[in-house]
Structure 1
Amino acid sequence: MGQTLRCLTGRVDRVLYAFSAIPREGFLPPEERDFAGFDEPLPIGHGQTNSQPRTVADMLRLLEVAPGDKVLDVGSGSGWTTALLAHLTGPEGSVVGVELEPTLVRFGRRNLAATDQPWARIEKAKRDVLGWPPEAAYDRILVSAEAEALPKELMDQLASPGRMVIPVAGLMMLVERNATGTARLSSHGWYRFVPLRRKP
């Protein structure tokens, strides 16, 4: 690993380490696995994709998940981001992924189970509900679908302090909430995602 898992500061890049530990091909349909190394989104059915690895890495670095964090993964799809987040939190943390499409919920659960990280799970998203309010607040929230505007429902589920990464109207947005509850927003480039839907 050595050099490839270290950033320019000499510190271990935890996101690259997670990518190494949780290979993408285990989260793809059989006919797409030969393309797992391609830096592009790949179809997983039902109009959904397994996101471009570079995009996933960018989002995870912005999120800055720490061991022990409580994390919400909105739009878990194939389960890859849920598994990567679980690797970053470690067993002292927890991750709940939510997904609207029932077939992808089953697909993601099988894929996640194969990583043997029981502190992470995937739930079927509830009709007209964003996120997973019963277990809020979350230290980190990752949203892998594009919202038209910053959703108040997810802001309400973010802890103080906490961080949320979400595509909004084409821009990757980072929400940083401090211990007093004040939120600061910053944009980090243009990206394309499937829309954030409310109904299955």
Structure 2
Amino acid sequence: MDGDRFADAFAAVPREWFLPIREQQRSGYDGPIAIGRGQTNSQPRTVEAMLRLLDVRAGDRVLDVGSGSGWTTGLLAHLVGPDGSVRGLELEPDLVAFGRANLGHGEWPWARIDPAAPGTLGDPSAAPYDRVLVSAEAAALPTELVSQLADEARMVLPVAGEMLLIERTAGEVRVSRHGRYRFVPLR
């Protein structure tokens, strides 16, 4: 991170705010950290790579699937600013509460974390989104999330061990691959 808007986001949204108390001293560790319920706060280098691929812009409407501790939701909120919106979705009720509490460290009234509906990926009823970040690994590209993208939208997610960037432009969908990663499974 080299003095750009992504570095600014990481400075404004410290990882330690989004870790369990017993793990906060490890916030500088560049690896995943357990947050409970079999979930992790992702490796900072991986989060940075995903955010750069996502290329979030001020004013974007963003969906954060698998928000966990809320760190990515906070980072996204910083990047979209007050003219944008970020909606985090998390399946684990304990982590919804944890993430919501963690978001309270910052001042991002345009960001929130809600419980994900079991059996539904994303939130088709509130689509389309300008950007979708998925912090859990899918076995195959989830077409139900692709269909929630607006025109000129981007989605970043790990699929079968590879980081994919999905770009939707003029109704066409383009997929590119950006390295190998490990994540908890998307369910």
What amino acid is aligned across from residue 18 of structure 2 in structure 1? Answer: F
Percent identity between the two aligned chains: 64
Deviation track 1:121-164 (CA, whole Å, cap 9, x = no partner) reads: 00100011001222110000000000000001101101111000
Aligned to 1:171: 162
Aligned mates of 2:150, 2:40 — CA distance in 1: 29
Deviation track 1:9-53 (CA, whole Å, cap 9, x = no partner) reads: xxxx21111000000000000110000001010000000000000
- What residue ranges of structure 1 are gaps of 5+ in the alignment? 7-12
Residue 190 (str. 1) matches residue 183 (str. 2): no
What amino acid is aligned across from residue 88 of structure 1 in structure 2? Answer: L
- What residue ranges of structure 2 are gaps of 5+ in the alignment? none
Asked if 2 retains the 8 angstrom alpha-carbon contact of 1:5 and 1:17, the reply is no
Q: Which of 39, 62, 74 does residue 30 from structure 2 map onto?
A: 39
Aligned to 1:156: 147
- Pairwise CA RMSD: 0.8
- Kindly report which structure 2 residues correspond to 1:108-119, keeping only aligned pairs within 5 A, or say none: 108-119=99-110
What amino acid is aligned across from residue 183 of structure 2 in structure 1? Answer: F
Residue 123 (str. 1) matches residue 123 (str. 2): no
Q: Which of 40, 43, 47 does residue 56 from structure 1 map onto?
A: 47
Asked if 2 retains the 8 angstrom alpha-carbon contact of 1:18 and 1:87, the reply is yes
Deviation track 1:105-133 (CA, whole Å, cap 9, x = no partner) reads: 00000001221100000010001100122
Aligned to 1:97: 88
Residue 73 (str. 1) matches residue 73 (str. 2): no
What amino acid is aligned across from residue 160 of structure 1 in structure 2? Answer: D
Which SS does the other structure have where 1:194 is aligned? Answer: coil
Aligned mates of 2:166, 2:125 — CA distance in 1: 21
Aligned mates of 1:112, 1:134 — CA distance in 2: 24
What amino acid is aligned across from residue 181 of structure 1 in structure 2? Answer: G
TM-score normalized by structure 1? 0.92
Shift of 1:5: 3.8
The higher radius of gyration belongs to 1
